[in-house]
Amino acid sequence: MSSEIDQKFKLPARYAGSEKSVWVEYIQLALEHKPLNLGQGFPDYPPPRYVTDTLAEVANSDNCLIHQYTRGFGHPRLVAAIAKLYSKLIGREINPQTEVLTTLGAYEALFSSIIGHVDVGDEVIIIEPFFDCYEPMVKTAGGVPRFIPLRLKETKGKTLPTSADWVLDKQELEGLFNTKTKMIILNTPHNPLGKVFSREELEFIADLCKKWNVLCVSDEVYEWIVYKPNKHIRIATLPGMWERTITIGSAGKTFSVTGWKLGWAYGPANLMVNLQMVHQNCVYTGNTPIQETTAISFEKELTRLDSDECYFNSISEELVSKRDYMAKFLTDVGMQPTIPEGGYFMIADWSPLESQVNLNSEKDKYKDYRFTKWMTKNVGLQGIPPSAFYSVPHKPLAENFVRYCFFKKDENLQKAEEILNQWKSGKGKMAN
C-alpha cells in the first residue's frame, strides 16, 4: 500500500530536478556548525531607521483598514509611488493601474512573468550564472531553458579582474535565438558576479530581441547598488524595448529589508495582464501594511532623489568600502576575487589554496561544494558554491569559485579576515 501511495503521489514531473536547494542545504549546514555566515545575501544590521519607524507608525495607526485586504494587483498608494519613480527614470508615463504589479517578493514577480508568458515548448535564454529559481520556473511552465555562460576573459596586466571582464560570446548568444525563442532573462546588476551590463552589451541583446520578437524579463533588483563610475542602464529605455520588456524590482534590496518579501514588476499593459492572471489565481493580494510602509518610504526618497541623502544613492557609498575591504583580505589569504561593479556579492577563485583543503573529506560531485562545506566545518567561514547557479553542463565552469556577501557589519568582515588569516597561519579552528 505504501508503495502505491508513494507512486501515485510523487512529485509531479514538472518539478523533477528541483528537489535539492542550495539554500535549504546551506542553512541547515550553518545551523549545525555555526560558522561566520557570509553565504546568504542579506545585511546583518538594521535598515534605515525611518523605514522601520514608518512600519511602526503604520501598524499603530487609527486606520483599521490598513490591516485588511488591499487591491489585488497592488496597494493603490504603492503602485502610484512606483509609477511616479519609474516614469521619471525611464522617461515615459507609467500607468499605475495597468502597468505595475506588486508581488510577494521579486521571486513571485519572476514566477508570474515566466509562468504568464512561457508556454509548452517555448525556449527561454538564461545567462549563467543565474539566480537558481529561473531554470525550475521555466521548466514548470513547460519551457525549454537554453543556457549561455558569462566567461572570464584574459586580464593580462590587471591586478584583479572586475565583473566587466565576465562577458558573453556574441556569436554564441546570437546562435541561441530562433523562432522558438520566447524570452531572455537578464540580470543587471548581476548576482553573483556583480556585473553591470554596459550600454553596448544591452544594445546587442536588445537588437536580438527585436529581430526575433523576443520578450526580455529584466531582473534589476540590485538597481541602486552600483559603484562609481558604473551606471545602471534600464534595458526598457532602449529604442523599441519598452514594448517587449518586463522589469522586476525588490523592496528587500531597495530598502535592505529582505524579510518583507515585497517585489514588483512594470511594463506595458498588454504584457502585464499575463502576470496579473497568474498573480490573482495564486496569491491574489499582498501584505497591506508592508505595502503602505514601502509606499511612504518611496515618497520620502522621491523628494530627494537627486541628493546624496537619498538612500538609493548613499547605499553604494556605504558598501564600496566593505567591497574593497573584502577584496583585500581575500587577496591577502591567496584567493583571487572578482571586483564587482554592483550588488553586494563577491566571487573569488579559491583554487590557489587547494593544497590546503581536504576536498576528499566531502562527497559532493563539484569541488566548490566540497570546498565550501569543508571551510564551514573546519575553518568556520561559510560561503556559497556558485555551481548552484549553473546548468549541469556548465557547472564545471564554477568549481574553482566561492561566493561571499559583504553587506555585513564591519566587525563581522573583520572577523572573517581574522578567521582566514588564522587558517592560513595554521592557528585556526582546525588546530583547536
Average pLDDT over residues 326-345: 98
Chain centroid to Cα 218, Å, comes to 11
Give the E-state strand segments of 204-329 in sequence order: 215-219, 245-250, 263-266
As a dihedral over the C-alpha atoms of residue 84, residue 88, residue 89, residue 91, rounded to 10 degrees, the angle is 120
pLDDT digits (tens, 9 = 90+) for 321-335: 999 999 999 999 999
Q: With H, G, I as helix, E, B as strand and everything else as coil, classify residue 187.
A: strand
Decide if pLDDT at 431 tops 60.
no
Domain range annotation of the chain: 2-47+310-431, 49-302
Cα distance from N-terminal residue to C-terminal residue, the chain: 52
pLDDT recorded at residue 90: 97
Average pLDDT over residues 386-408: 97
Decide if pLDDT at 377 tops 50.
yes
Q: Nine-digit cell at 423?
A: 587558517
Nearest to 150 by CA among 164, 136, 131, 134: 164
Instruction: Specify whether the CB–CB gap between 136 and 15 falls below 8 A.
Output: yes
pLDDT digits (tens, 9 = 90+) for 95-127: 999 999 999 999 999 999 999 999 999 999 999
pLDDT digits (tens, 9 = 90+) for 32-78: 999 999 998 999 999 999 999 999 999 999 999 999 999 999 999 99
Q: Quickly state the pLDDT bin for 3 (edges 50, 70, 90).
A: confident
Give one word for 390, left, alpha or beta, with left for phi > 0 and alpha for psi -120 to 50.
Answer: beta
pTM: 0.95
Overall residue count recorded for the chain in this entry: 432
Matching fold, domains 2-47+310-431 and 49-302? no
Decide if pLDDT at 176 tops 50.
yes
d(CA 337, CA 347): 6
Which residues, including other chains, have CB under 8 Å from residue 124's CB and lie 6 or more apart?
Answer: 114, 118, 138, 143, 144, 145, 146, 181, 182, 183, 184, 185
Q: Quickly state the pLDDT bin for 426 (edges 50, 70, 90).
A: confident
Q: Quickly state the pLDDT bin for 200 (edges 50, 70, 90).
A: very high
Q: Please, how many CA atoms are within 13 Å of residue 379, restricted to the half-sphere of its CB?
A: 26
Beta bridge partners, 164, equal: none
CA-to-CA separations, 34 to 13, 254, 378, 381, 388, in angstroms, rounded: 36, 29, 11, 9, 22
**CATH of region 49-302:** 3.40.640.10
Average pLDDT over residues 274-282: 97
Q: Quickly state the pLDDT bin for 1 (edges 50, 70, 90).
A: low
Q: What is the DSSP letter of 404?
A: E
Pairing mode, strands 245-250 and 263-266: antiparallel
**CATH of region 2-47+310-431:** 3.90.1150.10
The phi, psi pair for 160, rounded to 5°, reads -135, 145
Share of the chain above pLDDT 90, in %: 91
